[in-house]
Every structure is written in structure tokens, then in C-alpha cells.
Structure 1
Amino acid sequence: MTQVPPSSFPAPSAPSVPPQFPPPTSEWTPSPHRRPRRAGFAVAVLTGALVVGGGAGVGGAALYDAASGGDRASAGSSTLPVVDNGNRPAASGSVESVASAVLPSVVALDVRAAGGAGSGSGVILDSDGLILTNDHVVTLGGEIQADQAEVTVSFNDGRKVRASVVGTDPLTDTALVKVDGVDDLTPVTIGKSSNLDVGEQVVAIGSPFGLDATVTSGIVSALDRPVEVARDAQGNATAYPAIQTDAAINPGNSGGPLVNMDGHLVGINASIRSTSSGQGAESGSIGLGFAIPIDEVLPIIDQLRAGETPTHARLGIQVSDVAGTAGSSDTTLSGARIAEIEGGSAAADAGLKPGDVITAIDDHTIEDTEALIATVRSYRPGDTVKVTYTRNGKESTTELELGSDG
């Protein structure tokens, strides 16, 4: 099973190992006197077409001067002509306009504890100072408890403020932090991730490698991609049906927003696929980044805001991958085979049995255990789903009401 390292972590040391820590923050020590950022700077870096257009304009002006026979200074003292088209307003729906609207809502997070230090990103949810990020950002990849974290929030205008952790949910890699006494905050506009389509353009904003307010863009390259990044001591998986994007996402982007071209929050950048190997090697973007769909975490956010323990949907089964089990060499087989069923669980009440192979939940194809966990995690306790399964080679379906781990 391929592990997908959270995007604030360095690369794994082997093909299938849990995520590791972020790089030491000393490598990216900010200047003690940070100047206020200019919102247009990160955008200007991206819009290389402006440089090309400017160059073409220079050439045109030089040719016109030569053809018109205008007076020219000697080559040794002449000044290169410059075409100044002014700082034009960003076109509606452009990456530039999206960056301008969303950058004030994005923050950088520096986390320190006795066990180490790390950095990540976050996005402002409301004017009271509530900020959404990843659990693995505030817990340093699960190495510390959230209440041990000393979190510093850096805003887009240069302000730095200490924050407190409101709550975390490791199973969805979600966390909330809060700053108090900070005025003039710009909350992000929350959209619907269910409206995304493959090929749709998106923008990611965050602090990769500690480089605050970095803007990258790309497209949605896949939807409902099952991604599992970790398991706890009880075997519970951190997994989600991810938005896959080719927007450049690197260590430090974790917790930052993925937005559509209306500037609406549709996902939280959380993990990347990397080709790096070797202990201590840095993972980097290869065009495979994964974001947690905002639709899936909004109920978790509401529970954390209310001071509640988050709940998750569950079937009440233990499963294993079909491919390669029981000595099978049939590569056409796929699904999640039920190994054990808890008495009184949703699966037991629906008549499922050990040995059944789950192949679909509603219209979501289940290829393996990772897909099953991620798909069930996208539902809420009490939701009714149709389960497609095979038993002794015969396909059947059943409807059941998902249980709760609460």
C-alpha cells in the first residue's frame, strides 16, 4: 500500500513508511524585520507572459525609433526604451484576481514544542480569528499532543500573533486554531467541493518551505482519489477521498487553501506524492498534490467549534485487500474483503458476513481497503448507503444506515 506523506513533511525513507517531520525551521529563518508583503508580488512571479509581452513591446519601440529617424544618443550613453502599460487591474477570473482576493485570508503557522518544530499554512474562517489547518501541522506529525504546541500565526500584512489550539481531529487531519484581539481579518469564502470537475482550474496558496504567501495554480487532475496518510496505534486510518491537483504543492503547504477560480475555498492542501527516497531526503512537488474536500470536513469543523469530540461514520468491520489474498494470483479481482464483523454494527444488521467482498458504496467503486475507508469517511453517521458486495462469486446489494464511532 502506497503511503502519501503529508505535504508539510519531508519525504519517506522507504516506499511505504509513515510521514516524517518538517525540515528544521532554522533553514528558513525569516528576517527579524519583516517588511509588509505586497499582494501583487507573488502573482507577478507567476505571470511570465507579462515579461514576454514587455520584451516584445521594447523591440517594437526600438524598430519604430529607427524607422522614424528620430534623434538617438550614442550607444555608450543611451538608455534602453521602456514601455509602461501601467499596472492594469486583474482580469476577472484570472489567477491574479483570485490571488488578490484570497491572500489576505491565508496565514503561515510556526509550531514549536519540546519535541521539535515545524511549519505549515492555514486559512481564516471568520472575523473572530478562527483558523483552519491540518492536524499534522499542529501536532508535528502526531509526535506531540495539540495542547503542547506553541503556535505563532503570521498574517499577510506582516503581523505575528500567538494562537491557541481549539481542537483537532486526526482521522480527517483537521485542526482549528484561534487568535484573539486581532482586528481587520478577512475570512475566506467557503465554496462546495462537490461542484468541482476534472480539468477545472484551481489555485493553491500557502507557505512551502517557509516561503509565505506563495501562489501556485493548476487543474483538478482527479476527484475522489483515496488517500491514506497514517494509522494510529488502534489501526484507525487518516484517509479521505482527495481532490488531486497538479498545482505545485510542497512541504509547508499543508493546511493552506485550495480555491476555485471564484476564490472560494474547496479544499485543504494536505499531502503530496513524492519520488524521493532515503532518510532525511526532502520531498517535493511532482505535480501530484492532494487536498481534503471542504464538504467532508465542514461537519468536523462545526463539532470542533462547539467543543465537541468529532464523530465519523463506520461500518463496524475489519477488512483486507482482495488482490493477493489467500494465494490468489488473479489480478482482475479487487475490493475489500470482510475479515471480521462487530456484533450490532451497521454491517451486521445489514446481513453482511465475513468473506464478503465489498466492491462499491453507492456509485463509488471500491478497489481496496484504502478506498473503502476513504469513501466511508466521506459520509456522516446516520447516512443511508447502498453496499455492493460479492459472496461466493455472486454479486448482491444491501442498504444500511452507517453507524458512528461516537
Structure 2
Amino acid sequence: MSGNGDDNRNAGRWGEDPGRPASSPQFGPANPAQADPAQTGAQSFPGYSGYSSYPGQPGYAGTADQPVEDPEGQGGEGQVAVAAGVKEPRRFSTPAVAGMMVAVGVAASLLTGLIVNSAGSDSSSGTTFSTTVIGDREQASATPEEGTVEAVAQKVLPSVVSIQVTSGQTASEGSGSLISSDGLILTNNHVVSDAGSGASITVTTNDGAQYDATVVATDPQTDIAVIQAVGASGLTPITIGDPDALQVGQSVVAIGSPLGLSSTVTSGIVSAKDRPVQAGGESGGEASLIDAIQTDAAINPGNSGGALVNLNGELVGIPSVIATLGGTSGESGSIGLGFAIPADQAMETAQQLIDNGKASHPVIGAQVDTRETTTVGAVIAEVTAGGPAEEAGLKAGDVVTKVDDRVVDSGVSLIAAIRSHTVGDEVTLTVTDSNGDNQHEIKVTLSASE
């Protein structure tokens, strides 16, 4: 595992997980950063009834690699008809329906200030402040105990940056983690997706130093991007941890720039692991899928691309998506449902982007239906001729209920499970027919997406 001050870019140094090889599994899929909060809508779990969709976002389609949807449920030419019926929409106990949204901060329309009351006999006396010192100043400056949130903050803050993208009259903000001493930064694709012609990117470190930045490469499918702080040197790269070692209930800390408030530290626990989350892309862009770490640490617009770390100060996730309450109230802050891309998957994608300028993803060579059905599992809609799935004996109409020991309950769940592996991995699929009978296992060697 790399320590602070060491570059994370070289093969074998991206996290060196105890239970993983140096080349971590490729990740096919997430989203919290870059749109005006007034314009930010709720994202969705496509195929998950009960979640409203981001305005203007298309349904997620792709191959099973990536899902195939029939949004109208009508079948028809070019659409896959599935024997199983559609489930009843899920009901929620709250008046508003929860939705997925990107955590984005927009500087152009946001003014955050501290309001103080004036003290004195008249307006000419000016504003005064009354302060009380609590505790021992010497005690406050003592080195914090290892494993505390305070110790984590001191270790990690120098490795997390705020990112501002300015285009014309608008500016949006997100976060990022330093992965090399010369300014390579890991962030979300949706944080920098608007950094096209005429746009500029500014990176600000914890000590206030500012750098212009350029985009190295992006991968919308996984919502991962790498940018370069121009002329940077001597920076402190973040230490990479092992997300597989996380346990539900374990304490974690989120660090980023929510609502433009740089170097913000919040804490919580791991609420769940292997949570399939699908979110629409920014401004109608490509949707992304994330095999997420769920946390109740407060994550808000602007936290996207930042750091979710364990109490050793090691990066375990990239905050990317939050659930919000829908309705007309416009609520878009944290409700304790945040989702982060596992660090090993993010780093595997980042390494490919640095080395090749693009990333490939593991696939089985089949398409799955992501609509909700009464079938428990992932319904195979179509099998690619000559692909790994066909060679293994998988057929259209089959239902996949497990990948190795991991339960699969939907098409999105199957995609997330496959994307948590690496190209060339052999996985065991538990398969039944459309009636849930004839259960058997098949082995599939994952190929690379084109």
C-alpha cells in the first residue's frame, strides 16, 4: 500500500489490497457534482420502480453487460419481450418519492455566508463579536489519537482538492483526490464533463494553492475521470485502501467540497455494500452504473469525486451519487443515503485512462432486461453470437440468480456484479429457466467490452 507522498500511478501501487492482485477488478459503473442545484433533478435506478428520473435523462441502455429497456413496456420491433410479468411498483411510506441525483455544487448561483448580529447601542458602533474560549489551548493542539475522525482529517485533507469548472457565465464545483505528487487527480466524470471548448478547470488544494487543470481522460460508463493539475509538484497523494475489507457498520469519513465549502469533513458508517445504483448522466449524457458502497455520512452536491476513507485515512470509495426526496419542495441535500464507487474499481479504471486514454469493461456477451418483473434474478434477453455467454451455454430466457456466491435479483444487479470483476476472470453463474426450474451452474470467462 502506498503511503502519503508516494505516487499511486504505477502498476501495482494503486492500492495493493491484501486480498487482491495489483490490477484490481475493472469496474463498469455512478453520480454527486456538477449542475446548478436549481436545475439538478433526481436521478434514477432505471428498472427500479418508485424512483423519479433526472429531467431529460434517457433510460439506461447497454449490454449485460449492458441493460436493455422497454420504457413503455410495449415490446415491439427492436424490443425484447420478456415472458415474466411486470412487478407492481414499489410503495414508499414517505409522501415524497426518493430519487437518485448527482451531488453537484454550482458556484455561480451559490452564496454561502455567515450572518452575525450587531452588538452595541447604535448603528454607528459597528459590529462586535463575543467569544468564549473553552478548554485548554495546549490540549487542543495535541496530536489526535489514531483512529479518530480528527486524526483522519489531518491525514487526508492535504490529499483532497476542490475542483471548479467555469464555462461562460456558469461555474460548477466538485471534489477530487490526489493520486500522484505531481498533480494527477481522480474525480467523477460528471464533475468535469462540461469542461469542453472554452471552459477552464481550477483546482484548489487544502492549503489554498490553485492550479489550472486539464482533462487526461474520462469514462462515462463508470463515471470516472482523471485530470492533471498543471505545474504541480510536491503534493500529497492519498493512500489507497481495500474496500473489500469494509464491514457493514464500520465507521467511514467523507471529505470534499459540498456546496463549495472546501475541506468539509463528515462521518458515518458503511450502511451496505454491493449496492447496484444506476444514475443518468449530466445534461442528457451517458448513464453510469455503480456497484456502490452505501453510507450515511453526509454527502451533498459538490462532494462528487471526493474521498470516502476508513479510519486509517485510506481511500475506500469515491462519493458519486445521493438519494434525495422528490416532490416540489426542491430538497436536494443529504438524507443519509450516499453511494460511493469502490476505490479499487475506480483506480483500475483510472490506470487504464492514464495508460490508454480509455477504459474497457468486463462483459459476459449478453443483454439483460432491466425492467422490474416478477422473476427474481436477471432475465437474459439476448446472447451475443460467439461471445462468452453463448460458449458457456447461456440462452435467451434464462434467469441468472447468482454470480459466484453473490445473489442477483435484477438485471442491474447482474451488470454491477460482472463489472466488479476483471477482464479474464472466470465466474460461476447460477441459472434457472423462466419458471425458476432446472437450476444449474455454468462457468463464463469475462471478455472486454468493445
TM-score by length of 2: 0.71
2:41 is aligned with 1:15: no
- Alpha carbons 1:12, 1:277 under 8 Å: kept: no
- Alpha carbons 2:102, 2:320 under 8 Å: kept: no
Match for residue 438 of structure 2 among 387, 394, 399? 394
Aligned to 2:136: 84
State how far apart, in whole Å, the 2-side matches of 1:139 and 1:123 are. 17
- Secondary structure of 2:414's match? helix
Aligned to 1:306: 355
Counterpart residue identity of residue 419, structure 2 = R
Q: Any idea what the Cα deviations from partners look like across 1:196-224, whole Å, max 9, x if unmatched?
A: 11111010000000000000001101011
Aligned to 1:129: 183
Match for residue 28 of structure 1 among 110, 127, 136? 110
Say if 1:24 and 1:98 are closer, same or farther in 2 by CA, change over 3 A. Answer: closer
Counterpart residue identity of residue 136, structure 2 = D
Q: Any idea what the Cα deviations from partners look like across 1:263-318, whole Å, max 9, x if unmatched?
A: 01111111101113349x35110011101001112221111111342110111212
Match for residue 295 of structure 2 among 241, 245, 251? 245
Unaligned runs of 5+ in 1: 32-78, 325-329
Match for residue 345 of structure 1 among 357, 367, 387? 387
Match for residue 414 of structure 2 among 354, 361, 372? 372
State how far apart, in whole Å, the 1-side matches of 2:132 and 2:306 are. 42
TM-aligned CA deviation for residue 397 of structure 1: 0.9
2:246 is aligned with 1:220: no
- Alpha carbons 1:15, 1:277 under 8 Å: kept: no
Say if 1:315 and 1:288 are closer, same or farther in 2 by CA, change over 3 A. Answer: same
- Alpha carbons 1:91, 1:97 under 8 Å: kept: yes
- Alpha carbons 1:198, 1:220 under 8 Å: kept: yes
- Alpha carbons 1:201, 1:219 under 8 Å: kept: yes
- Secondary structure of 1:137's match? helix
- Alpha carbons 1:321, 1:335 under 8 Å: kept: no
Q: Any idea what the Cα deviations from partners look like across 1:134-155, whole Å, max 9, x if unmatched?
A: 0000004xxx65x664210011
Unaligned runs of 5+ in 2: 1-29, 43-50, 58-100, 114-130
2:149 is aligned with 1:101: no
2:261 is aligned with 1:211: yes
Q: Any idea what the Cα deviations from partners look like across 1:7-37, whole Å, max 9, x if unmatched?
A: 5554525812345794542233689xxxxxx
- Alpha carbons 1:259, 1:266 under 8 Å: kept: yes
Say if 1:237 and 1:313 are closer, same or farther in 2 by CA, change over 3 A. Answer: farther
- Secondary structure of 1:394's match? coil
Moved over 6 A (4+): 79-82, 231-236
Say if 1:218 and 1:402 are closer, same or farther in 2 by CA, change over 3 A. Answer: same
TM-score by length of 1: 0.78
State how far apart, in whole Å, the 2-side matches of 1:354 and 1:233 are. 34
Match for residue 239 of structure 2 among 189, 212, 223? 189
- Alpha carbons 2:102, 2:304 under 8 Å: kept: no
The equivalences for 1:40-119 within 5 A come to 83-84=135-136, 86=138, 87=140, 88-114=142-168, 116-119=170-173
Aligned to 2:27: none
Counterpart residue identity of residue 284, structure 1 = G
- Alpha carbons 1:239, 1:377 under 8 Å: kept: no
Say if 1:315 and 1:235 are closer, same or farther in 2 by CA, change over 3 A. Answer: farther
More divergent stretch after superposition (373-382 vs 123-132): 373-382
Match for residue 152 of structure 1 among 186, 190, 202? 202
Q: Any idea what the Cα deviations from partners look like across 1:175-210, whole Å, max 9, x if unmatched?
A: 001113223311111111111111110100000000
Aligned to 1:199: 249
Say if 1:148 and 1:278 are closer, same or farther in 2 by CA, change over 3 A. Answer: farther
State how far apart, in whole Å, the 1-side matches of 2:31 and 2:318 are. 15
Counterpart residue identity of residue 27, structure 1 = S
The equivalences for 1:256-271 within 5 A come to 256-271=306-321
State how far apart, in whole Å, the 2-side matches of 1:248 and 1:258 are. 11
2:314 is aligned with 1:285: no
Counterpart residue identity of residue 348, structure 1 = E
Q: Aligned pairs, how many?
A: 344
Q: RMSD in angstroms over aligned alpha carbons?
A: 2.8
Which of the two has higher C-alpha Rg? 1
TM-aligned CA deviation for residue 5 of structure 1: 5.5
Say if 1:129 and 1:30 are closer, same or farther in 2 by CA, change over 3 A. Answer: farther
Say if 1:16 and 1:165 are closer, same or farther in 2 by CA, change over 3 A. Answer: same
Counterpart residue identity of residue 84, structure 1 = D
State how far apart, in whole Å, the 1-side matches of 2:279 and 2:417 are. 15
State how far apart, in whole Å, the 1-side matches of 2:258 and 2:249 are. 24
Counterpart residue identity of residue 188, structure 2 = N
TM-aligned CA deviation for residue 402 of structure 1: 0.8
Q: Any idea what the Cα deviations from partners look like across 1:54-75, whole Å, max 9, x if unmatched?
A: xxxxxxxxxxxxxxxxxxxxxx
TM-aligned CA deviation for residue 340 of structure 1: 1.1
TM-aligned CA deviation for residue 237 of structure 1: 4.9
State how far apart, in whole Å, the 2-side matches of 1:203 and 1:286 are. 16
Say if 1:208 and 1:236 are closer, same or farther in 2 by CA, change over 3 A. Answer: closer
State how far apart, in whole Å, the 2-side matches of 1:312 and 1:81 are. 55
Counterpart residue identity of residue 390, structure 1 = T
State how far apart, in whole Å, the 1-side matches of 2:169 and 2:446 are. 38
- Secondary structure of 2:421's match? coil
State how far apart, in whole Å, the 2-side matches of 1:284 and 1:297 are. 25
Say if 1:190 and 1:261 are closer, same or farther in 2 by CA, change over 3 A. Answer: same
- Secondary structure of 1:121's match? strand
